[in-house]
Amino acid sequence: MASVFLVINRNKFEGGEEKVRKDLSLIHRRLLPIGIAGITPTINYSEKDCLLISVPDPQIHNHLSSVCTGAFVDLPDNWWNLNLIPTCASFFSSVNDFRCLISSNSTASRSVWYYFDDKQLIVSTSQKAIVSWIGSFNSNPQAISWMLAAGNLGPGNSWDSRIHHLGAGEDVILDRSEWKLSVNVRDNNKQLVSDLSRLEYVNLLNQTLDSVFENAKFNLSNSILTLSGGYDSRAVLYYLVKSGVNINTVTWGLSSSVNDKFTDANVASRIAARLKVSNEYFITDFIDRSFDPLFNRFLQYGEGRLDHINSYMDGFRMWENLFDNGVRNIVRADEAFGWLPSKTEQDVRISLDLHLMEDNANMIPLQHFDMEPQQYPDFCTREVEESLEAWRDRLYRQFRIPYVLSSLHDLIHPFVEVYNPLLHQDIVNFGRALPDSLRTNKRIYAKFVAELIDDIPFAKKASIPEPAAILKSAKIVSLMLDELNSQDARNILNSNFINWVQSHLTVNDHHINIIKNSWTLWFKQQIPWKIKKMLRKDFIKYSADFNQLAFRTVIIIRMHRMLAEEADLLKHN
């Protein structure tokens, strides 16, 4: 659950050690979950460097101003002198008198932000902390456009235009003598095995998983695994148990979901019983009288990077409960074995949450409301000879994991540290080496996992409601209207845009604690994907939900308000 904050100064700190420690202590308190106190941070100080680890944890390795997170195998004794990130880690920085190296793993599974000017380099897992230290906030028009269109900040964007995201497989290197910053993307194309038979791929997958899990050394005594009814957490649990590890599991959802045999909740309990591990089920029904406190926590913990609030409708009570009971780490099962079938580039963009506003037939281009059109960085461009499937899965690794899945993890990082064994470089390399046909729909991986426990089917529906259903609640619509009618809204966004959104809002209180109907899901699953894509092209166009668009608008308004307050945090300290 550690937030990391690192400052590399060109000259000595103004105000000296006492001032730096006071400022870092105040930032530390702002990074803690609401209601949790009495945690002493790690603060390392020298005349030109300082490091804050807000919540010390045995799994967070640090040496002076160097730090490594997410390592689930033993690191060498001199890990801080390594030139590249260890394959088992998610974030790595090495600091000495001559240079500073900051590295992410090949999928940037741990969000890291940095700011650089002629006086300092600031590196942090928190955008808010950087804004506090700088003492000012510069709104980023691209973050606004991407949040409205896709429900995330987009590729590489921060709320502040001066703050950059450490991308997938990226090294940021500061030459301290010249005070110059360079950015390098590592070549991850080495040692790939391709052109194997299907059976050889299956055998290699089993060998790779065995090897990674047998070498895992992180302490699971205060850890749990988040277990669903899908492929990924089932595979992780199976291989942990196979390697001799006994780990507790947790699943969550609506109270009505656990008895529905098609849901994550029900299937997960059966998997846990089969593998003889415990499974605790947390109910996340929305029962608060006011949505406002829940929403504030959602923004404080996740820094408004994503609009996926449907997993946190209990107001984070589940994560508070786990923390109070000593849980400090969770094992997740994000992976990169492939993605959904696509017929067009638009299919790819929408499936990855990387789409333009106008990809939805019922939306109007942002330029119409005097907002910046969304911009794609170079890595998002499809290469000349790159197949649609190869482009799709590369963007999954380089965009969806770093900017969507890691945003979900940020929401729980105030409570726990996150480990993702399936994102070990050896496993990622295996997925990358597969032919397009075996990655689409995770074809070879899904069949392989299905045979691990062949008499328990995969879940067919989630245990939580869809975001669109939640955001039609009268209480939530009322809150959104209050914000849309505020002066802050008019200062940040075009009035015509706000009026357009308001005019399309709908209210329905009957679905906030209800999941999808099984018959509806069954019917959709009977339609071949090629037919679905053909219907998308000619008849049933992609469309967006206006209540979700309003919610994204409110995220923008409140995050601007929050970050303006953060910019004043240290001014009178």
The stretch 276-284 carries a mean pLDDT of 91
Run of H or E residues at 52: strand 49-53
The Cα 337–Cα 255 span in angstroms is 32
Report yes or no: 204 and 35 within 8 Å, Cβ to Cβ: no
The number of domains in the chain is: 2
pLDDT in tens, 215-256: 877 667 788 999 998 889 999 999 999 988 889 999 988 888
Domain finish residue from 165, 187, 209: 187
DSSP SS3 for 223: strand
Amino acid present at 133: W
Question: 480 is written with which tokens?
Answer: 């959104």
What is the bridge-based pairing of β-strands 120-124 and 164-165?
unpaired
Residues 6+ apart with CB under 8 A from 496: 369
- Looking at the structure, do residues 140 and 209 belong to the same domain, yes or no? no
The Cα 89–Cα 316 span in angstroms is 27
Alpha helices in 135-227 (DSSP H): 141-150, 198-214
Per-residue confidence (pLDDT) for residue 557, from 0 to 100: 98
The stretch 68-77 carries a mean pLDDT of 77
The stretch 358-378 carries a mean pLDDT of 94
Residue 501 lies in a domain: no
Judged by average pLDDT, the poorest of 117-131, 275-289, 336-350, 559-573 is: 275-289
pLDDT in tens, 161-174: 999 999 999 999 99
Domain finish residue from 187, 217, 241: 187
- Looking at the structure, do residues 235 and 207 belong to the same domain, yes or no? yes
Integer-rounded Cα radius of gyration of the chain: 23
- Looking at the structure, do residues 87 and 20 belong to the same domain, yes or no? yes
The stretch 27-33 carries a mean pLDDT of 92
The Cα 411–Cα 398 span in angstroms is 20
Q: Does 445 have pLDDT greater than 50?
A: yes
Residues 6+ apart with CB under 8 A from 430: 193, 204, 205, 208
- Looking at the structure, do residues 47 and 173 belong to the same domain, yes or no? yes
Residue 387 lies in a domain: yes
- Looking at the structure, do residues 389 and 275 belong to the same domain, yes or no? yes
Contacts 24+ apart (CB under 8 A), 344-348: 344/388, 344/533, 344/537, 345/382, 345/388, 345/391, 346/542, 347/533, 347/536, 348/388, 348/391, 348/392, 348/395
Report yes or no: 455 and 271 within 8 Å, Cβ to Cβ: no
The Cα 287–Cα 294 span in angstroms is 11
pLDDT in tens, 379-407: 999 999 999 999 999 999 999 999 999 99
Check residues 534 and 176 and name the one with the higher pLDDT: 176
DSSP SS3 for 551: helix
- Looking at the structure, do residues 95 and 155 belong to the same domain, yes or no? yes
Helices and strands of the chain, counted as H and E runs: 21, 17
Residue 142 domain boundaries: 4-187
- Looking at the structure, do residues 180 and 223 belong to the same domain, yes or no? no
Residue 474 lies in a domain: no
pLDDT in tens, 189-225: 555 566 788 899 999 999 999 999 988 776 677 889 9
- Looking at the structure, do residues 126 and 227 belong to the same domain, yes or no? no
pLDDT range class, residue 313, cuts 50, 70, 90 = confident
Domain finish residue from 187, 220, 248: 187
- Looking at the structure, do residues 243 and 172 belong to the same domain, yes or no? no
- Looking at the structure, do residues 246 and 341 belong to the same domain, yes or no? yes
